[in-house]
Chains A and B, each alone.
Chain A
Amino acid sequence: MTRPPFAQVLLAGAALLSLSMSASGLELAEENTLTIGLSSEATAVDPHFHTLTPNNQIAAMIFDALVNQDETQQLIPGLATEWKPVDDLTWEFKLREGVKFHDGTDFTADDVLCSFERAPNVPNSPASFALYVGNKKVTKVDDHTVHFSTPEPYPLMANDVSNIAIVSDETGCNATTEEFNSGKATTGTGPWKFVEFIPGDRIVLDANKDYWDGAPAFDKLVLKPIKSGPSRVAALLAGDVDMINDVPTTDIQRLEGDDNVTLAQGSSNRVIYLHLDQFREDSPHITAKDGSKIKNPLLDLKVRQAISKAISREAIRDRVMEGQSILAGQLLPKGFFGVSENLKPVEYDPEGAKALLAEAGLPDGFKVLMHGPNDRYINDARILEAVAQMLNRVGIEASVETMPRSVYFTRASQGGPGETPEFSLILVGWGAGSGEASSPLRSLIHSDGPANRGRYSNPEVDAVINEAMAAVDDDKRQELLAKATEMAINDGAIIPIHYQVNTWGLKKGLSYEPRTDEYTLGQSVTRDAD
């Protein structure tokens, strides 16, 4: 028996290898494809199935809403060219003419009507869009005019409307979620056309060359879920993807020094804050230092202020966040609608904190077990540990327990007896989906707020929030929201720590306009002029 010499086989293999490698390299260069590595994956491409960032971000690529949100979440015309209240209860939206769906059919008022009919009623939705549709009634005036009416004056009409993707009344409105995933019903008006969705592996989209707002800079878009942070960075460095989102803070410095990579960074709409138990005389995780029961000290404004003063927000930014955060003094960063001009981040003042504690009758401090998630926000567990150390420095004996978000949020919301919040002092984050201050005010501060996990309740603040929510006039609402924010923050409703900074990594030569809502949108990636 004669065998081919080993070396020969090797050589032949190597030759074959180099041949096909060069061939595939050429192919990629010609195709003008943009490949993005994303940290999380959409659960469906049905734009009305699940209101979740990765899903909404896909929807924003394939579909349009009547009103779109720009990169700072300002409302800009989408499929509607203008909108205005016609009376206290009714808003009129003028629809854009000449827009076509990907299958060539015309966009008209009927598509709007049936999209708002479908959005709140998708079966088995884990997080329904009913939230944004609410009790709005949609009526068609003519083919390019619709009226939205509510039983009470409703100023956030356009914000809500910007969350509902418009699907086609011919293919999309009666379709099931499966038919969207397979592409059968995935016909939008957006900048990208659906090609394929392989769960866990990739979503492929083609450019819509006839997009009303200008065609995207690339012919093809491939979205790959790469959950692990180091792997995502490696994929960018290896050139397998052209762009990644959620660059881990530990890698930012390294990427800044890399000649083949550029970073896009911007403030997010997400505030990281402490929520404090303000509804129980006997708070479960707070005791005196000797372990005996004491009256919940967090009920005292002075103690809340002391905690705020004890936290060095600069140190957290510089040490824990590697410089990647913006110190927070309220619910949303500067530039958003309804923020206060007067609130500043509280200065680090350990002596002041001790003095306040003494004034509150607790010169020796107390003992508290703090809780927080360890896989939800950027460096969440480490922030909480830093806060605990700082509290220890002013005499509050703080220890920390962190847990996965799958366990944490349920316990934080309803883990205690009678479905009350279980914890005493917690770290949470809040991203204002609507891009204005009423979102955190209504959810975190208002007595009825569904995410008010400290059960802070102040009738005066509630009244101002309610008044704001009925003020259709923008200037008046802005003023009221700022007022409510000031009242709540000065009353220690929550203790803001910082706003997150979002970081995207791109191949040299590409640019991305950082978005406050953390979305990664293919149409916003551009090539730098040579």
Chain B
Amino acid sequence: MTVTIIRRLMQSLLVVVAMSLIVFVGVSSIGDPTYMFVSPDATHEEIARVKETFGFNRPIWERYVYFVEGALSGDLGKSYMFNQSAMHLILQRLPATLELAFAALFLAVFLGIPLGLYSGLKPDSPFSKLIMTGSIVGFSLPTFWVGIMLILIFAVMLGWLPSTGRGDTVEVLGIRVSFLTWDGLRHLILPAFNLALLKISLVIRLTRAGVREAVHMDYIKFARAKGLAPSRIVGVHLLKNILIPVVTVLGLEFGSLIAFSVVTETIFAWPGMGKLLIESIQTLDRPVIVAYLMLIVFLFVIINLIVDLIYAMLDPRVRLAGRRR
């Protein structure tokens, strides 16, 4: 197991180094951001000053070396636009994004699995058909459109929920969270649902497929024959076996929930990292883009590691295979 983890970590390090090069060169080749920054009536001297200050007049390799030097000492650069450490800016907004991603994950698990189970166990009931049709809709509608529709229906027409923004926050262990206040929770519902919609549909389908396959297995039949309560058959024997693919997929999808909540955050004006990223791209605030992408690479590496570990907990054979190597 330890060897496996170490090997995985080494591989990850390589990925991080390669990504840093790709990201840095890619972002730098978009062009010189000077004209994005300076006031339109800036003089030639001012334009020269900005180029000098931020090093836009230096060759790219020189800037990369400078970046790597900083990165090794834990400094991924300073935002041009905000004059703050890029990492600080991102971490400042991480709690909001994590909160949204966890809320979406929560919805995906606690709506997706029960609905999937139901439609897997009773495939012919009308409700199951409704669930399956609903999941197709969830798959195929674009997030930005659903987001706007949610706002129109629940905020503008019905007035039940607030349309945009994050609600009141309270500090827990120095982190601002909003799901503990009523106002915060109300603000969280629509964006979380919008972000979760695709994942809910995915989980429903995965669960249903797993259930349909497993109910005909011998061990389920045997458990039935033994006279076990249906709740125990479903809750213990069935669920445990169908959860492995669901956990794998959710793990990967959780990464994308965090990394690519951009659309949802923009529509709901959610003050998270995605919104920061999209604004940084629009203003060519390179250090923030680079730091963000590096963080996401790092995040995916960690998530994949955690998924492997959960795997091992759910399925003892995985752990044994690791030891044998």
Binding site for B on A (CB under 8 A): 20, 24, 37, 41, 43-44, 49-52, 123-128, 130-131, 177-178, 198-202, 224-228, 230-232, 234-235, 237-240, 375, 404-407, 409-411, 413-415, 430-431, 433, 439, 442-443, 448, 450-451
Which residue of B36, B44, B47, B82 contacts A406 across the interface (Cβ within 8 Å)?
Answer: B36
- Closest chain A residue, CB of each to CB of B79: A43
B81-99 CB contact bits vs A (8 Å, 1 = yes)? 1111000010011001000
Which 8 pairs between the two chains have the least Cβ-Cβ distance? A200-B271, A201-B271, A126-B37, A238-B155, A409-B35, A238-B163, A226-B269, A406-B284
Which residue of A44, A240, A411, A413 contacts B163 across the interface (Cβ within 8 Å)?
Answer: A240
Which residue of B38, B40, B42, B271 contacts A430 across the interface (Cβ within 8 Å)?
Answer: B40
Which residue of A128, A201, A406 contacts B281 across the interface (Cβ within 8 Å)?
Answer: A406
Known pairs A44-B83, A234-B152; A239 contacts B159 (CB<8 A): yes
Decide if B46 touches A442 in the complex (CB within 8 Å): no
B28 interfacial by beta-carbon distance below 8 Å:
no
> Can you pick out 18 interface pairs between chain A and chain B where the beta carbons lie within 8 Å of each other?
A37-B269, A49-B83, A127-B39, A127-B42, A127-B50, A131-B46, A178-B84, A199-B271, A200-B93, A202-B165, A231-B268, A234-B156, A234-B163, A235-B165, A238-B159, A405-B36, A410-B33, A410-B35
Decide if A411 touches B271 in the complex (CB within 8 Å): no
Which residue of A177, A201, A227, A414 contacts B279 across the interface (Cβ within 8 Å)?
Answer: A227
- Closest chain A residue, CB of each to CB of B161: A238
Residues of A within 8 A of B73 (CB): none
Decide if A128 touches B49 in the complex (CB within 8 Å): yes
* Distance of A517 from chain B, by nearest CB (Å): 13
Known pairs A234-B148, A443-B41; A41 contacts B279 (CB<8 A): yes
Interface size class of B (residues with CB under 8 A): 35 or more
Which residue of B43, B44, B282 contacts A375 across the interface (Cβ within 8 Å)?
Answer: B282
Decide if A234 touches B151 in the complex (CB within 8 Å): yes
* Distance of B321 from chain A, by nearest CB (Å): 39
Indicate the member of B148, B155, B272 with the most A CB atoms within 10 Å. Answer: B155
Decide if B41 touches A237 in the complex (CB within 8 Å): no
B267 interfacial by beta-carbon distance below 8 Å:
yes
Binding site for A on B (CB under 8 A): 30-44, 46-47, 49-50, 53-54, 78, 80-84, 89, 92-93, 96, 148, 151-152, 155-156, 159, 162-166, 182-183, 266-269, 271-272, 275-276, 279, 281-284
Q: Known contacts A234-B148, A238-B159; can you find 11 more A-B pairs with CB under 8 A?
A: A24-B182, A52-B39, A127-B39, A130-B46, A201-B271, A227-B266, A231-B269, A237-B156, A240-B165, A410-B32, A433-B39
Which residue of B32, B81, B162, B282 contacts A126 across the interface (Cβ within 8 Å)?
Answer: B81
Decide if B81 touches A50 in the complex (CB within 8 Å): yes
* Distance of B155 from chain A, by nearest CB (Å): 4
Which residue of B81, B151, B267, B272 contacts A238 across the interface (Cβ within 8 Å)?
Answer: B151
Decide if A124 touches B267 in the complex (CB within 8 Å): no
Residues of B within 8 A of A44 (CB): 82-83
* Distance of B154 from chain A, by nearest CB (Å): 9
In the complex, A415→B35 CA distance in Å? 11
In the complex, A431→B40 CA distance in Å? 9
Known pairs A231-B148, A231-B269; A201 contacts B166 (CB<8 A): yes
Indicate the member of A51, A200, A375, A442 with the most B CB atoms within 10 Å. Answer: A200
Residues of A within 8 A of B38 (CB): 126-127
In the complex, A20→B183 CA distance in Å? 9
Decide if A228 touches B269 in the complex (CB within 8 Å): yes
Decide if B53 touches A450 in the complex (CB within 8 Å): no
Residues of B within 8 A of A43 (CB): 81-83
Residues of A within 8 A of B165 (CB): 201-202, 224, 226, 235, 240
Decide if B267 touches A231 in the complex (CB within 8 Å): yes
In the complex, A238→B89 CA distance in Å? 30
* Distance of B53 from chain A, by nearest CB (Å): 6
Decide if B269 touches A224 in the complex (CB within 8 Å): yes
Which residue of A230, A234, A410 contacts B36 across the interface (Cβ within 8 Å)?
Answer: A410
Which residue of B46, B89, B267, B272 contacts A128 across the interface (Cβ within 8 Å)?
Answer: B46
